[in-house]
Amino acid sequence: MSKGDETRQRILAEAAAIFNQRGYEGCSIQAIMEATSLEKGGIYRHFESKEELAAEAFDYAWNIAATKRRQNLDAIPNEADRVKQHIANFGHRTGLPGGCPLLNTGVDSDNGNPVLRDRVRKALRDWQAMLRTVLEEGMKAGTIRADVDACAAANRIIAGLEGAMLISRIERNDAALRQGLMQLEAYVDLELRQSRA
Amino acid sequence: MSKGDETRQRILAEAAAIFNQRGYEGCSIQAIMEATSLEKGGIYRHFESKEELAAEAFDYAWNIAATKRRQNLDAIPNEADRVKQHIANFGHRTGLPGGCPLLNTGVDSDNGNPVLRDRVRKALRDWQAMLRTVLEEGMKAGTIRADVDACAAANRIIAGLEGAMLISRIERNDAALRQGLMQLEAYVDLELRQSRA
């Protein structure tokens, strides 16, 4: 990695943490200058505008979260078990301060930030597609019930996870998240998994 | 209502709409001055600080949303039907720009705004208590299954609603919300309602 690339990555890492905690309006370039010990020019050498930096920082943050949440999935042959592992992965911290980037930026980018909004929409679409793919593979392999609506099931899981994370964040403890994970794991076993005849 | 009270209510109505759309950091006192045609002193005569104004504006916004979402519930004698009507009410707009105040402010107030955070926590607690009460009344009346965990069921409904609203907001259409409402209504019928023997 060139020195310029290294600096760019360092800016992204710091900006991702600050944007994810404080939102677009609450994150000043001054704060990123302080976190990176760079001058304003040193930051804008790598990013055209605050809007572009925020969009790239969101992608950086989402990549960390999505990678963590997809951990240990490939080794699981049964698709119902793979969806359950994906859900269970939400019980572990991503290491990213501020919580789920989709929740933060999805709410924050709602008004007047179309570049950021497109990135969030793409992140959601990727997540939905990943879940749909696992469910459809399972329907072919006979591990997921053939009458499952993969699109509706993916949204049910995503909504349940994001909603439980919201409650836990407001309550400042993990109880509601853990409860939500258990409910979703039971949903996989009772409504998605093809039981052996 | 005195003229002073009227002005206070007018400030709250404008501030609630702006805070709910732009968040705490994104809402300037300047924007509230413009919306109300008041000078800064005219606003701070009624509110000690921006923090206090934001907290009161959240309560104002939440009251509008909660009232709308509790519409037509009292006339329904069966508790399972009452929970279903509450869920169905989320298919109608609150009339408040910016969407659900709990989602917006729950995410936005996460860092560095303890006054606002307390109000959001109280709003969530009230909502959980309202759902728990209906479910417990139904358990006594024999309309809700006796083995339902009212606390877990309340969180499941709240998480499902807030998560579906997040997806719909990111996708900019109501499809995921409508899908989520159908799933939750089915949940009430299949897992909460006491079926007649």
Percent of chain A with pLDDT over 70: 98
Q: How confident is the model at residue A197 (pLDDT cuts 50, 70, 90)?
A: low
Alpha carbons within 13 A on the beta-carbon side of A30: 3
pLDDT beyond 80 at B109: no
Separation in Å, CA of A125 to nearest CA in chain B: 9
Q: Which of B104, B110, B155 sits opposite A179 (nearest CB)?
A: B155
Residue B141 lies in a domain: yes
Whole-angstrom CA distances from B103 to A133, B70, B108 are 29, 18, 8
What is d(CA A90, CA A140) in angstroms, rounded to the nearest whole number?
27
Q: Is residue B11 situated within a structural domain?
A: no
> Based on the structure, what is the number of domains in chain B?
1
**Residues B181 and A150: beta-carbon distance below 8 Å:** no
pLDDT of residue A105: 94
Q: Are B22 and A111 in contact (CB < 8 Å)? A: yes
| Residue in chain B nearest A163 by alpha carbon | B159
Length of chain A equals 197
Q: What's the 3-state SS for B114-169?
A: HHHHHHHHHHHHHHHHHHHHHHHHHHHHCCECCCCCHHHHHHHHHHHHHHHHHHHH
Assigned domain for A101 exists: yes
- B167 in A contact zone (CB under 8 Å): yes
Which of A103, A124, A156 lies closest to B107 in CB terms?
A103
ipTM exceeding the 0.85 mark:
yes
Token duo for residue B125: 């607690």
Residue from A111, A124, A186 nearest A159 by CA: A124
Distances from the Cα of A117 to the Cαs of A129, B163, B178, B183, in angstroms? 18, 17, 22, 27
Report long-range pairs for B179-183 (Cβ below 8 Å, ≥24 apart): B179/A152, B179/A155, B180/A155, B180/A156, B180/A159, B181/B87, B181/B88, B181/B90, B181/B91, B183/A152, B183/A156
Q: What residues of A are in contact with residue B176 (Cβ under 8 Å)?
A: 155, 159
Domain region containing B67:
58-192
Query: What residues in A contact B171, CB-CB < 8 Å?
Result: 121, 124
Position B113 scores a pLDDT of 81
How far is the C-alpha of A135 from the C-alpha of A154, rounded, in Å?
A: 8
| Model pLDDT for residues B126-137, shown as the tens digit of each residue | 999 999 999 999
Pick among A22, A30, A58, A107 to test the B interface (most B CBs inside 10 A): A107
Tens-place pLDDT, residues A13-62: 999 999 999 998 889 999 999 999 999 999 999 999 999 999 999 999 99
Q: Which residues pair with A144 in a beta bridge?
A: A193
In 3-state terms, what secondary structure has residue B193?
Answer: strand
What is the average pLDDT value for chain A, to the nearest integer? 95
Contacts of B180 in chain A (CB under 8 A): 155-156, 159
Tell me if B105 sits within 8 A of B15, measured CB to CB: no
Give the CATH number, domain containing residue A84. 1.10.357.10
Q: Confirm if A163 and B160 have CB atoms less than 8 A apart.
A: yes
Mutate to test the interface with A, among B110, B111, B165, B173 (most CBs of A within 10 A): B110
Q: Is residue A158 part of a domain?
A: yes
- Dihedral of the CA atoms B150, B156, B161, B162 (nearest 10)? 110
Does B147 touch chain A if contact means CB atoms closer than 8 Å? no
Report yes or no on A18 lying in a domain.
Answer: no
At A110 the pLDDT is 67
B175 belongs to a structural domain: yes
Percent of chain A's residues with pLDDT above 90: 88
Over range A158-171, report the average pLDDT: 97
The pTM of the full predicted model, rounded to 2 decimals, is 0.96
Say if the Cβ atoms of B167 and A155 lie within 8 Å: yes
Answer whether residue B25 is part of any domain.
no
Residue of B108, B152, B166 lying closest to A162 (CB–CB):
B166
Instruction: Assign 3-state DSSP to chain A and report helix, strand, coil percentages, each to 5.
Output: 75, 0, 25
| Domain assignment present for A45 | no
Judged against a pLDDT cut of 80, whether residue B197 lies above it is answered with no
Q: What percent of chain B has pLDDT over 70?
A: 98
pLDDT-based confidence at B111, cuts 50/70/90? low
Whether pLDDT at B94 is above 80: yes
Q: Taking the CA atoms of chain A, what radius of gyration do you get in angstroms? A: 19
